[in-house]
Chain A
Amino acid sequence: MAAVAERPKLLHQATLVKRVDLGHDYFELFLNCPDLAASMQAGQFVNLRVRDELLPLLRRPFSSFDYLKDARGRATGISILGHVVGQGTALMARMAEGLKVSLHGPLGKPFEPPEDPATRVLMVGGGIGIAPFLHLTRQWSSGPSKRELVMLAGGRSVKDLVFMNRFNGAGADVLLATEDGSAGVKGRVTVLLEAELKALKGKPALVLTCGPMAMMAAVSRICQAAGTPCYASLERVMGCGYGVCNGCVVEVDAPGSERGYRYAKTCVEGTVMDCASIRW
């Protein structure tokens, strides 16, 4: 039947080729999965089944962190950055190399490059929310999407930034901010953002952000005041990840509707969304 030929491949059996413990409960899983990698864009996510059992039940959503290629430049897989926060991530942090892992994806909408090649792209990430920006840096640091890239990375302390050395040589300028001053400037990442926006002096810029909601809300406010376009990759509690459960919603403006807003499913309308439309 015609419908079968059009069906995209979204369920994959990846192989865990390497697991790296990064310290302070962070880990990176290197997953071999050429089909998935070939179509995965930065900002999209995969929904990972922790094991072939009913406990834990739901898949866990992860951005692609690194984009893996072989010596000839062909896509071989992705890596994901994990932080142990509960049962699922605790199991993942102990996954054995060689394990087959079911991945659902790529899901969601990716970051879109700004049309003007002179645009300075400011990536503002907090903690594990920094993950999609390594893939983005790989994607936008060469070729037709090449843009000037600045990574502004924030955390409470250096312990939240143990993976930042993965950006070495990737193609973005990296600036750090920690609330306790243990790495980079002391303070919140928004301090770095405000300084960068001031230094633009009329140069076009685009801000992309991912991290805790409160941080992204602050980034959105600053960008709105500066008149700089801003897109956020939202992390919400998800049920399905592909649009059927209606769980992962965010309030967005809906001019003309009875209450002026509606609930948008971040898994299909996002996770990358225009900050100006979101009711923070």
Chain B
Amino acid sequence: MPLNLSVKLGPLELATPLLTASGCAGYGVELERYQDLSCFGGIIGKSISREPRLGNPYPRTAETPAGMLNAIGLQNEGYEKFVQGTLNKMRAFNTKTIVNVVGHDFEEYVWLVERFDSEAGIAALELNLSCPNVKGGMKFATDVGECERLVAACRAKTRLPLIAKLSPNVTSIAEIAKAAERGGADILSAINTYVGMSVDWRSKKARLGNITGGMSGPAIKPLALRNVYDVRRASKLPIMAIGGISNADDVLEFMVVGANAAQIGTILFVEPDAGAKILHDLKGKLIDAGVSSPAELMGTLQGPERTNVVA
């Protein structure tokens, strides 16, 4: 039985179910030194805004047990420079280019989506609805009405596959997922980072210049699994799972709860060649399990009624 690693997420077809998580891979340029980028179904770049952004003051990262906090503050070169330089490098990669966009406000998101829609060589757009490290960065990810309104306005400006990246910092991710679906998103990606803190009690200072930051890494994987599970039950849209995915078993766990693809992030800081390694292991595990396509595993979580309960 030949192994077919390709996955179809609505209008977006990917050669492998692995992607880079926005903010953890730059724009793919550095990663190419460590692996052939064809191990990824797509490279999702760091968020791009209309104007360049300086980012937050140092310190921007703090390690936590099996995880880390970051508060980079969306430092990026801005639309103009990105389109003139970096985007061309991404187009030359042996994989699909997905651009992640972020705005200060409604108009900035819509402006960016409209511009990128007319650029060649972009496979999809991901909306960063939920950066926790900038002021006002959360409303589109936490308010059902705002989320739907923004996604709908972006939808109206592009025929590219539109991915809505959801935040876990909400009461019900299921309600936000439904709002993004109503707005016209093609794909949901879940989850962005959890807002957290790290403090040095001796100096009485937060370990991040921004005081709070986004928590990522293996420590949040169980939380991400629960969120993806909730999103799957709330929406029929394809899901890209994100949250501490560090090896092939993690990818498969997320597929069982309902993900169609997986974005890897923080593990790339530790193992820059993690894409190639995870894909290699994924192939082996699927073959060993007699599974011919990752899609076969999607949403196969068994309910409690299937467990053996001694009466």
Contacts and interface: CB of A to CB of B under 8 A. Distances in A.
**Do A and B actually bind?**
yes
Interface of A: 1, 3-4, 7-8, 10-11, 49, 54-59, 104, 236-251, 259, 262-263
Interface stretch (B102-110, B111-119, B182-190, B265-273): B265-273
Contacts of B268: 240, 244
Interface string B36-58: 10000000001000000011001
Contacts of A240: 268-269, 272
B24 A263 contact: no
Contacts of B72: 245-247
Given A236-B58, A239-B61, A57 B266 contact: yes
Contacts of A57: 63, 66-68, 217-218, 266, 270
Contact of A246 (B60, B65, B66): B60
A244 B31 contact: yes
A248 B61 CA distance: 8
Given A7-B33, A238-B61, A262-B54, A246 B272 contact: no
Contacts of A55: 65-66
B268 to A, nearest CB: 7
B6 interface: no
Contact of B272 (A11, A56, A236, A238): A11
Query: By CB atoms of chain B within 10 A, which of A55, A240, A245 has the most?
Result: A245
A1 B55 contact: no
Contact of A239 (B31, B65, B66, B269): B269
A245 B246 contact: no
Contacts of B65: 55-56
A262 B218 CA distance: 32
Nearest to A4: B36
Closest 5 CB pairs of A and B: A247-B61, A240-B269, A244-B26, A239-B61, A54-B218
B266 A247 contact: no
Contacts of B23: 245
A244 B75 contact: no
A237 B66 CA distance: 16
Given A57-B66, A58-B270, A237-B61, A246 B36 contact: no
Contacts of B70: 239, 245, 247
Given A243-B26, A244-B269, A249 B58 contact: yes
A243 B268 CA distance: 11
B270 A59 contact: yes
Contacts of A243: 26, 30
Contacts of A262: 54
A82 B23 CA distance: 31
A11 B60 contact: no
Contacts of B54: 259, 262-263
